[in-house]
Amino acid sequence: MKPQVKEVLEWVYCIIIAVILALIFRYYIGTPTIVKQISMNPTLEQNQRLWLNRWGRTTKTLPQRGDIITFEAPAQIYTGKLKTTDVTAKFKEKPKNIFSSFMYYVVEVGKDSYIKRVIGLPGEHVKIENGKVYINDKELEEPYLPDGLATSAKVEGLDDFTVPENTVFAMGDNREHSTDCREFGCIPLEKIESKVAIRIWPLNLWGKVE
């Protein structure tokens, strides 16, 4: 083999290995992202950059109340009234082969995600009434919300329910401009992708997000 060809092949090999390692790190450990919507205002604003911790997905650990998480966007949005007793969100059918699974879950081609705050945990009774959120009949203190902001229920059946096992109930901080679990139901552990670790841009806001 000619030295020039061998050198090119070595570079191609190195690039392929680097890409594979980067994808593995991105999927199992962490990755940066950009805030694209306004559903988490004022906590997170559009074009801010975050570092996402994906170790929780790797270890299959449920997040805690107050954590800001990202998860796969559900396939079904309800309006008016939930026509089932199942309050778990519904998702697209899983890819049918290894390649399509790799492209969807690892490369994230054609995959949308939401970013919201965890409000209700498995087994807890959640009730939204008179602009307030109640967990197990006790009003939830939400210091991250602007003073006077009311939380409205959006779908009958997702305003008074018990969070199923291995799921969480999450909402955006910008309650009136957030498509969240009030409209599609609770998020299964397997659909949670990451937890927001720190804000990395703008630099004057660098640090932990609460």
The catalytic residues are: 39, 116
Q: Name which of 156, 196, 154 is nearest 176 in CA terms.
A: 154
Cα 27 to Cα 63, 76, 98, 131, 187, distances in angstroms: 17, 25, 16, 38, 19
Q: What is the C-alpha to C-alpha distance for residues 103 and 154, in angstroms, rounded to an integer?
A: 34
Q: What is the C-alpha to C-alpha distance for residues 169 and 120, in angstroms, rounded to an integer?
A: 5
Q: What is the C-alpha to C-alpha distance for residues 37 and 35, in angstroms, rounded to an integer?
A: 6
